[in-house]
Homo-oligomer: A and B are copies of this chain.
Amino acid sequence: MFVDRLIESVKVKKTHVVVGLDPRIEMIPDFIKEEAFRRKGNGVEGIAEAMYLFNKGIIDAVYDLIPAVKIQVAFYEAYGIEGFKAFFRTAEYAKSLGLIVIADVKRGDIQDVAKMYSKAYLQNPLFDAITVNPYMGEDSMVPYLEDVEKFGKGIFVLVKTSNRSSKDVQDIETKKGSYVYQEVAKMISRLSKMTVGKYGYSSIGAVVGATYPFEAKILREEMPRCYFLVPGYGAQGATAEDVVNCFDEEGYGAIINSSRGVIYAYRSDFWKEAYSEYEYGQAAREEVILMTGMINNALVKRKYIAS
Protein backbone atom coordinates (compact mmCIF):
# COMPACT_ATOMS: atom_id res chain seq x y z
CA MET A 1 0.00 0.00 0.00
CA PHE A 2 1.34 3.39 -1.07
CA VAL A 3 0.87 5.31 2.16
CA ASP A 4 2.47 2.60 4.29
CA ARG A 5 5.51 2.48 2.04
CA LEU A 6 5.72 6.26 2.22
CA ILE A 7 5.48 6.39 6.02
CA GLU A 8 8.01 3.58 6.42
CA SER A 9 10.49 5.42 4.28
CA VAL A 10 9.86 8.64 6.24
CA LYS A 11 10.57 6.71 9.46
CA VAL A 12 13.75 5.09 8.15
CA LYS A 13 15.15 8.26 6.59
CA LYS A 14 13.94 10.49 9.45
CA THR A 15 12.83 13.28 7.16
CA HIS A 16 9.55 14.69 5.86
CA VAL A 17 11.27 16.36 2.93
CA VAL A 18 10.58 15.43 -0.66
CA VAL A 19 12.42 17.01 -3.57
CA GLY A 20 10.67 18.45 -6.60
CA LEU A 21 12.45 17.85 -9.88
CA ASP A 22 11.38 20.89 -11.89
CA PRO A 23 14.28 21.53 -14.26
CA ARG A 24 14.33 24.95 -15.93
CA ILE A 25 16.87 25.04 -18.71
CA GLU A 26 18.05 28.56 -17.81
CA MET A 27 18.82 27.43 -14.23
CA ILE A 28 20.81 24.30 -15.12
CA PRO A 29 24.60 24.62 -14.70
CA ASP A 30 26.45 25.48 -17.92
CA PHE A 31 28.74 22.46 -17.74
CA ILE A 32 25.69 20.17 -17.94
CA LYS A 33 24.16 22.06 -20.82
CA GLU A 34 27.48 21.97 -22.70
CA GLU A 35 27.76 18.22 -22.19
CA ALA A 36 24.11 17.65 -23.21
CA PHE A 37 24.30 19.89 -26.28
CA ARG A 38 27.54 18.22 -27.36
CA ARG A 39 25.78 14.85 -27.19
CA LYS A 40 22.41 15.78 -28.66
CA GLY A 41 22.63 19.24 -30.21
CA ASN A 42 21.11 22.41 -28.80
CA GLY A 43 17.51 21.73 -29.89
CA VAL A 44 14.86 20.03 -27.79
CA GLU A 45 16.83 16.79 -27.68
CA GLY A 46 19.77 18.58 -26.09
CA ILE A 47 17.50 20.46 -23.69
CA ALA A 48 15.79 17.21 -22.66
CA GLU A 49 19.18 15.55 -22.19
CA ALA A 50 20.35 18.46 -20.00
CA MET A 51 17.18 18.17 -17.90
CA TYR A 52 17.76 14.46 -17.40
CA LEU A 53 21.47 14.83 -16.57
CA PHE A 54 20.69 17.62 -14.13
CA ASN A 55 18.00 15.50 -12.42
CA LYS A 56 20.32 12.51 -12.29
CA GLY A 57 22.90 14.60 -10.45
CA ILE A 58 20.29 15.75 -7.93
CA ILE A 59 18.95 12.23 -7.42
CA ASP A 60 22.46 10.81 -6.94
CA ALA A 61 23.14 13.46 -4.32
CA VAL A 62 19.96 13.11 -2.25
CA TYR A 63 18.36 9.69 -2.82
CA ASP A 64 19.66 8.22 0.43
CA LEU A 65 18.22 11.14 2.43
CA ILE A 66 14.63 11.37 1.19
CA PRO A 67 11.58 9.10 0.79
CA ALA A 68 10.30 10.48 -2.49
CA VAL A 69 10.71 12.80 -5.42
CA LYS A 70 7.92 14.82 -6.99
CA ILE A 71 8.24 15.32 -10.72
CA GLN A 72 6.24 18.21 -12.16
CA VAL A 73 5.26 17.01 -15.62
CA ALA A 74 4.72 20.50 -17.09
CA PHE A 75 8.46 21.24 -17.17
CA TYR A 76 8.87 18.23 -19.47
CA GLU A 77 5.57 18.50 -21.35
CA ALA A 78 6.72 21.95 -22.50
CA TYR A 79 9.31 20.19 -24.69
CA GLY A 80 6.93 17.70 -26.30
CA ILE A 81 8.04 14.15 -27.10
CA GLU A 82 11.67 14.72 -26.06
CA GLY A 83 10.53 16.34 -22.83
CA PHE A 84 8.32 13.36 -22.00
CA LYS A 85 11.25 11.04 -22.63
CA ALA A 86 13.26 12.97 -20.03
CA PHE A 87 10.26 12.77 -17.67
CA PHE A 88 10.07 8.98 -17.96
CA ARG A 89 13.85 8.56 -17.77
CA THR A 90 13.92 10.67 -14.61
CA ALA A 91 11.17 8.59 -13.00
CA GLU A 92 12.96 5.40 -13.99
CA TYR A 93 16.25 6.55 -12.53
CA ALA A 94 14.62 7.64 -9.25
CA LYS A 95 12.82 4.30 -9.02
CA SER A 96 16.06 2.40 -9.64
CA LEU A 97 17.46 3.97 -6.47
CA GLY A 98 14.43 2.98 -4.42
CA LEU A 99 12.70 6.35 -4.33
CA ILE A 100 8.94 6.77 -4.32
CA VAL A 101 7.94 8.75 -7.40
CA ILE A 102 5.07 11.23 -7.29
CA ALA A 103 4.00 12.50 -10.71
CA ASP A 104 2.66 16.02 -10.21
CA VAL A 105 0.18 16.06 -13.08
CA LYS A 106 -2.97 17.61 -11.51
CA ARG A 107 -5.19 15.85 -14.04
CA GLY A 108 -8.96 15.87 -13.81
CA ASP A 109 -11.66 14.97 -16.34
CA ILE A 110 -14.90 13.00 -16.77
CA GLN A 111 -14.76 9.37 -15.74
CA ASP A 112 -14.06 7.85 -19.18
CA VAL A 113 -11.20 10.28 -19.68
CA ALA A 114 -9.87 9.96 -16.13
CA LYS A 115 -9.55 6.23 -16.86
CA MET A 116 -7.03 7.08 -19.53
CA TYR A 117 -5.07 9.37 -17.20
CA SER A 118 -5.06 6.61 -14.64
CA LYS A 119 -3.78 4.20 -17.28
CA ALA A 120 -1.05 6.71 -18.12
CA TYR A 121 0.19 7.17 -14.57
CA LEU A 122 -1.27 4.93 -11.85
CA GLN A 123 -1.12 1.84 -14.05
CA ASN A 124 2.46 2.69 -14.98
CA PRO A 125 5.02 0.96 -12.71
CA LEU A 126 7.24 4.06 -12.88
CA PHE A 127 4.88 6.11 -10.74
CA ASP A 128 3.66 5.57 -7.18
CA ALA A 129 1.24 8.46 -6.89
CA ILE A 130 -0.19 11.41 -8.77
CA THR A 131 -1.79 14.72 -7.93
CA VAL A 132 -5.44 15.16 -8.96
CA ASN A 133 -7.75 18.16 -9.50
CA PRO A 134 -11.18 17.87 -7.79
CA TYR A 135 -13.15 20.56 -9.68
CA MET A 136 -15.19 17.99 -11.63
CA GLY A 137 -16.29 16.09 -8.52
CA GLU A 138 -16.34 12.56 -7.23
CA ASP A 139 -17.15 10.57 -10.38
CA SER A 140 -14.14 12.17 -12.07
CA MET A 141 -11.94 10.57 -9.38
CA VAL A 142 -13.40 7.04 -9.45
CA PRO A 143 -10.85 5.57 -11.90
CA TYR A 144 -8.00 6.79 -9.69
CA LEU A 145 -9.64 5.37 -6.57
CA GLU A 146 -9.99 2.01 -8.29
CA ASP A 147 -6.37 1.94 -9.37
CA VAL A 148 -5.16 3.08 -5.94
CA GLU A 149 -6.73 -0.11 -4.57
CA LYS A 150 -5.78 -2.38 -7.43
CA PHE A 151 -2.16 -1.32 -7.89
CA GLY A 152 -1.27 -0.10 -4.40
CA LYS A 153 -0.80 3.46 -5.63
CA GLY A 154 -1.68 6.85 -4.13
CA ILE A 155 -3.30 10.15 -5.07
CA PHE A 156 -3.04 13.63 -3.58
CA VAL A 157 -6.11 15.71 -4.36
CA LEU A 158 -5.81 19.51 -4.53
CA VAL A 159 -7.63 20.99 -1.55
CA LYS A 160 -5.95 24.29 -0.64
CA THR A 161 -3.14 25.19 -3.02
CA SER A 162 -0.09 27.30 -2.17
CA ASN A 163 -0.60 30.14 -4.65
CA ARG A 164 -2.05 33.55 -3.83
CA SER A 165 -5.10 33.19 -6.09
CA SER A 166 -6.07 29.88 -4.52
CA LYS A 167 -8.58 32.05 -2.67
CA ASP A 168 -10.55 32.83 -5.85
CA VAL A 169 -12.37 29.49 -5.89
CA GLN A 170 -11.11 27.59 -2.84
CA ASP A 171 -11.96 30.36 -0.33
CA ILE A 172 -15.45 31.13 -1.57
CA GLU A 173 -17.68 31.17 1.51
CA THR A 174 -20.50 28.68 1.38
CA LYS A 175 -24.05 29.04 2.56
CA LYS A 176 -23.18 26.80 5.52
CA GLY A 177 -20.47 29.21 6.63
CA SER A 178 -17.60 26.99 5.53
CA TYR A 179 -15.18 27.57 2.65
CA VAL A 180 -15.14 25.63 -0.61
CA TYR A 181 -11.79 24.05 0.28
CA GLN A 182 -13.44 22.59 3.41
CA GLU A 183 -16.22 21.06 1.34
CA VAL A 184 -13.61 19.54 -0.96
CA ALA A 185 -11.79 18.31 2.16
CA LYS A 186 -14.95 16.61 3.39
CA MET A 187 -15.40 14.83 0.09
CA ILE A 188 -11.77 13.63 0.06
CA SER A 189 -11.91 12.70 3.73
CA ARG A 190 -14.94 10.50 3.05
CA LEU A 191 -13.22 8.85 0.08
CA SER A 192 -10.07 8.33 2.16
CA LYS A 193 -11.87 5.77 4.32
CA MET A 194 -11.49 3.26 1.49
CA THR A 195 -7.81 2.57 1.81
CA VAL A 196 -6.50 2.98 5.33
CA GLY A 197 -3.13 1.38 6.09
CA LYS A 198 -1.49 0.15 9.26
CA TYR A 199 -0.53 3.62 10.49
CA GLY A 200 -4.08 4.95 10.25
CA TYR A 201 -3.41 6.89 7.04
CA SER A 202 -5.00 6.47 3.63
CA SER A 203 -3.47 6.34 0.15
CA ILE A 204 -6.02 9.04 -0.74
CA GLY A 205 -4.16 12.18 0.32
CA ALA A 206 -4.44 15.92 -0.14
CA VAL A 207 -2.42 18.85 -1.43
CA VAL A 208 -2.32 21.60 1.21
CA GLY A 209 -0.08 24.64 0.63
CA ALA A 210 2.60 25.45 3.21
CA THR A 211 1.73 29.09 2.65
CA TYR A 212 -1.61 28.67 4.47
CA PRO A 213 -0.83 27.47 8.04
CA PHE A 214 -4.21 28.60 9.39
CA GLU A 215 -6.10 26.57 6.79
CA ALA A 216 -3.69 23.65 7.30
CA LYS A 217 -4.70 23.44 10.96
CA ILE A 218 -8.38 23.23 10.03
CA LEU A 219 -7.69 20.69 7.30
CA ARG A 220 -5.51 18.49 9.52
CA GLU A 221 -8.59 18.03 11.72
CA GLU A 222 -11.07 17.64 8.86
CA MET A 223 -8.99 15.06 7.02
CA PRO A 224 -7.55 12.85 9.77
CA ARG A 225 -6.68 9.95 7.45
CA CYS A 226 -5.24 11.99 4.57
CA TYR A 227 -1.51 12.32 4.19
CA PHE A 228 -0.68 15.85 3.03
CA LEU A 229 1.62 16.70 0.15
CA VAL A 230 2.72 20.22 1.03
CA PRO A 231 4.11 22.57 -1.64
CA GLY A 232 5.17 26.17 -1.11
CA TYR A 233 8.15 25.73 1.24
CA GLY A 234 11.16 27.93 0.55
CA ALA A 235 10.90 29.63 -2.83
CA GLN A 236 7.16 30.27 -2.36
CA GLY A 237 7.81 31.77 1.07
CA ALA A 238 6.74 29.26 3.71
CA THR A 239 8.99 28.32 6.65
CA ALA A 240 9.38 25.29 8.93
CA GLU A 241 7.09 26.99 11.49
CA ASP A 242 4.43 27.37 8.81
CA VAL A 243 4.30 23.66 8.03
CA VAL A 244 3.99 22.20 11.53
CA ASN A 245 0.20 22.53 11.37
CA CYS A 246 0.18 19.99 8.54
CA PHE A 247 1.42 17.27 10.92
CA ASP A 248 -0.43 15.12 13.44
CA GLU A 249 0.54 15.01 17.11
CA GLU A 250 3.03 12.21 16.51
CA GLY A 251 4.80 14.31 13.91
CA TYR A 252 3.56 12.41 10.83
CA GLY A 253 0.90 13.09 8.25
CA ALA A 254 2.73 15.35 5.80
CA ILE A 255 5.55 15.40 3.31
CA ILE A 256 6.99 18.80 2.55
CA ASN A 257 8.13 19.45 -1.00
CA SER A 258 10.85 21.82 -2.03
CA SER A 259 11.75 22.20 -5.68
CA ARG A 260 13.65 25.40 -6.48
CA GLY A 261 15.02 25.74 -2.93
CA VAL A 262 16.79 22.39 -3.19
CA ILE A 263 17.67 21.84 -6.82
CA TYR A 264 18.99 25.35 -7.38
CA ALA A 265 20.55 25.65 -3.91
CA TYR A 266 23.95 26.20 -5.56
CA ARG A 267 22.67 29.55 -6.89
CA SER A 268 21.13 30.68 -3.60
CA ASP A 269 22.60 33.45 -1.45
CA PHE A 270 22.95 30.94 1.35
CA TRP A 271 25.04 28.32 -0.49
CA LYS A 272 26.62 30.04 -3.49
CA GLU A 273 29.86 30.91 -1.73
CA ALA A 274 30.31 27.34 -0.50
CA TYR A 275 29.50 25.50 -3.74
CA SER A 276 30.29 26.03 -7.39
CA GLU A 277 27.92 24.99 -10.17
CA TYR A 278 29.88 21.74 -10.45
CA GLU A 279 28.82 20.96 -6.89
CA TYR A 280 25.07 21.63 -7.41
CA GLY A 281 24.30 18.13 -6.13
CA GLN A 282 26.27 18.67 -2.95
CA ALA A 283 24.50 22.02 -2.40
CA ALA A 284 21.13 20.29 -2.88
CA ARG A 285 22.18 17.66 -0.35
CA GLU A 286 23.15 20.30 2.22
CA GLU A 287 19.86 22.09 1.66
CA VAL A 288 17.87 18.86 2.20
CA ILE A 289 19.80 18.25 5.44
CA LEU A 290 19.19 21.83 6.58
CA MET A 291 15.49 21.72 5.67
CA THR A 292 15.09 18.35 7.41
CA GLY A 293 16.67 19.76 10.56
CA MET A 294 14.53 22.88 10.53
CA ILE A 295 11.28 20.95 10.08
CA ASN A 296 12.18 18.28 12.63
CA ASN A 297 13.21 20.98 15.12
CA ALA A 298 9.98 22.90 14.55
CA LEU A 299 8.04 19.70 15.25
CA VAL A 300 9.99 19.06 18.47
CA LYS A 301 9.48 22.66 19.54
CA ARG A 302 5.73 22.44 18.90
CA LYS A 303 5.53 19.27 20.99
CA TYR A 304 7.48 20.95 23.80
CA ILE A 305 5.21 24.01 23.72
CA ALA A 306 2.05 21.87 23.62
CA SER A 307 3.06 19.64 26.53
**A111 CB–B CB distance under 8 Å:** yes
B161–A169 touching, CB < 8 Å? no
CB distance from A164 to the nearest CB of B (A): 6
Nearest residue, chain B, Cβ from A159? B135
Given contacts A80-B84, A106-B108, A135-B134, contact A180 B169 (CB under 8 A): yes
**A117 CB–B CB distance under 8 Å:** yes
Which chain B residues lie closer than 8 Å to A74 at the CB level? 107, 109, 113-114, 116-117, 120
CA distance A177 to B85 in the complex (A): 48
A165–B180 touching, CB < 8 Å? no
Contact residues of A: prevailing secondary structure: helix
- For chain A, the bracket of interface size reads 35 or more
Interface positions of A from 158 to 176, Cβ below 8 Å from B = 158, 161-170, 172-175
Which chain B residues lie closer than 8 Å to A162 at the CB level? 110
Interface positions of A from 137 to 166, Cβ below 8 Å from B = 137-140, 158, 161-166
**A136 CB–B CB distance under 8 Å:** yes
The 8 Å CB contact of A177, one of B79, B80, B164, B175, is B175
A135–B133 touching, CB < 8 Å? yes
The 8 Å CB contact of A80, one of B120, B137, B158, is B120
A136–B111 touching, CB < 8 Å? no
**A203 CB–B CB distance under 8 Å:** no
**A75 CB–B CB distance under 8 Å:** yes
Task: Mark each residue of chain A from 97 to 128: 1 if its CB lies under 8 Å from any CB of chain B, else 0.
Answer: 00000000011111101101101100010000
Which chain B residues lie closer than 8 Å to A242 at the CB level? none
Given contacts A78-B119, A81-B81, A187-B168, contact A161 B110 (CB under 8 A): yes
A117–B78 touching, CB < 8 Å? yes
CA distance A50 to B233 in the complex (A): 45
CA distance A137 to B180 in the complex (A): 13
Interface positions of A from 185 to 233, Cβ below 8 Å from B = 187, 231
**A4 CB–B CB distance under 8 Å:** no
Q: What would be 25 A-B contacts, judged by CB atoms less than 8 Å apart? A: A74-B109, A74-B114, A74-B117, A74-B120, A75-B116, A80-B120, A81-B88, A83-B120, A84-B84, A106-B109, A110-B163, A133-B135, A135-B135, A136-B161, A136-B165, A136-B166, A137-B163, A137-B168, A137-B170, A168-B187, A169-B184, A172-B180, A172-B183, A173-B174, A175-B177
Known pairs A79-B120, A135-B170, A137-B164; list 12 more (Cβ under 8 Å).
Answer: A72-B113, A78-B119, A80-B84, A80-B88, A81-B84, A84-B84, A111-B163, A134-B168, A137-B170, A139-B165, A172-B180, A175-B175
